């Protein structure tokens, strides 16, 4: 007679550890899922294109919002001003984005992606979308789409007392 094991539905994906109460903590599940999405990003976009997650996000937000300032970018990503300065420095040194003086506010700098930056962002996004779809066969297309929307709703809770 084989050893009986109690049925388990709550386990960590890799470490085979119980997570009975932890299972319902959203922050914990976010961290565990981020392990997967980070690995997908690094393998299919980060390493091929030489981009860190933050660099990719910053670059793409600039591509999709030409003419934005560094301060607005810092708020969007919840990072500090010196931090954004550093990442823009790196992207500018690689010729992916450009700083230009704002026409309306002489304190501010306006950001714009170069043609190379736009091309890189487009290729990276394409690669990530395909890689995520391929990696997450555990989710149906409908579930995948629903997850994205639910996460967006969570993100929109920002400012409502969460941070």
**Can you give the binding site for DNA, defined by CB under 7 A?**
52, 54, 69-72, 74, 79-89, 99, 102, 105-109
- Interface with a copy of itself (CB under 8 A), residue from 38, 80, 116, 123: 38
114 binds, among DNA, a copy of itself, none (CB under 5 to 8 A by kind): none
Q: What proportions of the chain, in percent to the nearest 5, are helix, strand and coil?
A: 60, 10, 35
* Structure tokens given for 160: 């409502």
* Structure tokens given for 19: 């997570």
- Interface with a copy of itself (CB under 8 A), residue from 49, 68, 90, 109: 68
Using CB under 8 A as the binding rule, whether residue 12 contacts a copy of itself is answered as yes
Based on CB atoms, which residue is closest to a copy of itself, 29 or 100?
29
Q: How far is the CB of 113 from a copy of itself (least distance, A)?
A: 13
Integer Cα distance of 38 and 86 in angstroms = 22
- Interface with a copy of itself (CB under 8 A), residue from 39, 81, 86, 119: 39
- Interface with a copy of itself (CB under 8 A), residue from 13, 48, 50, 101: 13
One-letter-per-residue 3-state SS of 93-143: HCCCEEEEECCCCCCCEEEEECHHHHHHHHHHHHHHHHHHHHHCCCCCHHH
Size of the site for a copy of itself (CB under 8 A): 72
CB 87 within 8 A of CB 54: yes
109 binds, among DNA, a copy of itself, none (CB under 5 to 8 A by kind): DNA
> Which residues pair with residue 100 across a beta bridge?
110
- Interface with a copy of itself (CB under 8 A), residue from 7, 115, 141, 159: 159
Helix (H) or strand (E) holding 92: helix 81-93
Using CB under 8 A as the binding rule, whether residue 8 contacts a copy of itself is answered as no
Alpha-carbon 47 to chain mean position: 15
């Amino acid at each position: 007679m084989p050893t009986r094991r109690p049925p388990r539905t709550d386990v960590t994906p890799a470490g085979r550890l119980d997570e009975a109460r932890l299972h319902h903590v959203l922050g914990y599940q976010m961290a565990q899922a981020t392990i997967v999405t980070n690995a997908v990003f690094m393998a299919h976009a980060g390493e091929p294109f030489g981009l860190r997650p933050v660099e990719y996000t910053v670059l793409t937000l600039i591509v999709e919002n030409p003419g934005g300032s560094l301060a607005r970018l810092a708020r969007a990503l919840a990072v500090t001003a010196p931090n954004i300065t550093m990442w823009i420095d790196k992207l500018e040194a690689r010729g992916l984005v450009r700083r230009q003086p704002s026409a309306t506010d002489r304190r501010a700098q306006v950001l714009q992606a170069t043609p190379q930056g736009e091309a890189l962002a487009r290729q990276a996004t394409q690669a990530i979308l395909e890689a995520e779809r391929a990696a997450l066969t555990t989710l149906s297309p409908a579930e995948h789409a629903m997850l994205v929307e639910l996460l967006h709703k969570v993100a929109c809770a920002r400012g409502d007392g969460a941070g």
